[in-house]
Amino acid sequence: MNTYKCLVKLEVTKTIKTTTNVVLQAQDAYKAKLQLEAMYGKGNIVSYPTLVYSK
């Protein structure tokens, strides 16, 4: 498994929104993106997943 990092948008309250880095493991960047879209919603992915560590 490879480790990827991506910037996602989070809604803290109705008026406060923030972005944060999320680290996850997936086989490739496309599958990492699909995983992030499933967890955080399609419109909340700010950057494409970048490879941090490859095994």
Closest C-alpha among 25, 14, 17 to residue 6:
25
Q: Is the pLDDT at 55 greater than 90, yes or no?
A: no
Structural contact between residues 23 and 51, judged by C-beta atoms closer than 8 angstroms: no
Confidence (pTM): 0.89
Q: What's the structural domain count of the chain? A: 1
| pLDDT tops 90 at residue 33 | yes
pLDDT at res. 40: 96
Mean pLDDT in the chain?
96
Query: In Å, what is the CA distance from 38 to each residue of 1, 21, 30, 33?
Result: 19, 16, 13, 9
Which CATH number fits the domain that encloses residue 41? 3.10.20
